[in-house]
A and B are shown apart, each in its own frame.
Chain A
Amino acid sequence: MSFLNPSSRAEASDSLALLTACGTGLVALIYAFKVAEAYASSGLASWLDIVQLVGGVLVLLVFLPLFYFLKTRFGGTTVSPWKSDSFFGTVLKRAGLAAFGLVLMSMIILTTMDRLVLANVTPEVLLDALIALALIGFSASFFLLGRDMGEGCDTA
């Protein structure tokens, strides 16, 4: 399968699932850098600002157009990996569930450590950290659950 030139709607759905996970990973990094910026020195913070900007531009100019291209490539109804019961469609839903669980557990742990953590962190940084954790959890779970484990050769 060529990632950018899928031969069928099913292959396009798989490509979209991969693209969603990659894009989510990139956005997660942007949020992680935003959190790091809050604790970095002014010199490093300005570099992290530039990295975030580059990441944002990459998402807007590369990932979103690619996403739109793959979604509408086969005309008619748009392709959606979330509605697919293919392997990658299932992995995508499980990754979403794993990310939800991760964030929920983190929030429960945070509430028990309110004096240690919450008193020393601004709400803005806390929200950015939770968003970064959710997105990293989703992206990492997707690649972990969908990793190539040698599924045999494509011969008759």
Chain B
Amino acid sequence: MSAALNNRIRVLRAEHQLSQSQLAEAIEVSRKTISTIEVGRFVPSTIIALKLARFFNVPVEQVFSLPDGDASA
């Protein structure tokens, strides 16, 4: 759904040893939402993106990035 967006959620989850369900519970979204963001099928809202960044204590750019060569932004 919508434009492509790279993300490092799977890596960050692994670093924090969290399951999708645990991460979903921590930022108050459903597991389906996390799993679809993770595989790049769903581009999250700004609020969810900021919640993820805050939870992992990193800037949002370290969680999400535009694909290389994407000049549409």
A positions within 8 Å CB-CB of B: 1, 7-11, 13-14, 85-88, 90-91, 94, 145, 149-152, 154-156
B9 → chain A, closest Cβ, in Å? Answer: 10
Contact A7-B25, Cβ < 8 Å, known A88-B30, A152-B20: yes
Contact of A156 among B18, B36, B47 (CB under 8 A): B18
Contact B41 A149 (CB under 8 A): yes
Contact of B35 among A11, A13, A91, A152 (CB under 8 A): A152
Q: Give Cα A9–Cα B30 distance, bound, in whole angstroms.
A: 8
Q: Give Cα A155–Cα B29 distance, bound, in whole angstroms.
A: 17
Task: Please name all residues of chain A whose beta carbon is closer than 8 Å to the beta carbon of B25 when the two chains form the complex.
Answer: 7-8
Contact B20 A14 (CB under 8 A): no
Contact A1 B30 (CB under 8 A): yes
Q: Give Cα A86–Cα B47 distance, bound, in whole angstroms.
A: 11
Within 8 A of A (CB), among B14-73: 14, 17-22, 24-25, 28-33, 35-39, 41-42, 44-45, 47-48
Q: Give Cα A149–Cα B6 distance, bound, in whole angstroms.
A: 18
- Tally of contact residues, B, Cβ under 8 A: 29
Contact A86-B19, Cβ < 8 Å, known A152-B39, A156-B13: no
Does B3 interact with chain A (Cβ within 8 Å)? no
Given A87-B32, A88-B32, 11 additional A-B pairs, CB 8 A:
A1-B31, A1-B32, A10-B24, A14-B32, A14-B33, A85-B48, A87-B36, A151-B41, A152-B20, A156-B14, A156-B17
Can you name 17 A-B residue pairings with CB atoms under 8 Å? Answer: A1-B31, A8-B24, A85-B47, A87-B32, A87-B33, A87-B42, A90-B1, A151-B32, A152-B35, A152-B39, A154-B20, A154-B31, A156-B14, A156-B17, A156-B18, A156-B19, A156-B22
Q: What 6 A-B pairs have minimum CB-CB distances, sorted nearest first?
A: A151-B35, A85-B45, A10-B30, A86-B33, A154-B20, A87-B33
Contact B29 A86 (CB under 8 A): yes
Task: Please name all residues of chain B whose beta carbon is closer than 8 Å to the beta carbon of A91 when the two chains form the complex.
Answer: 1
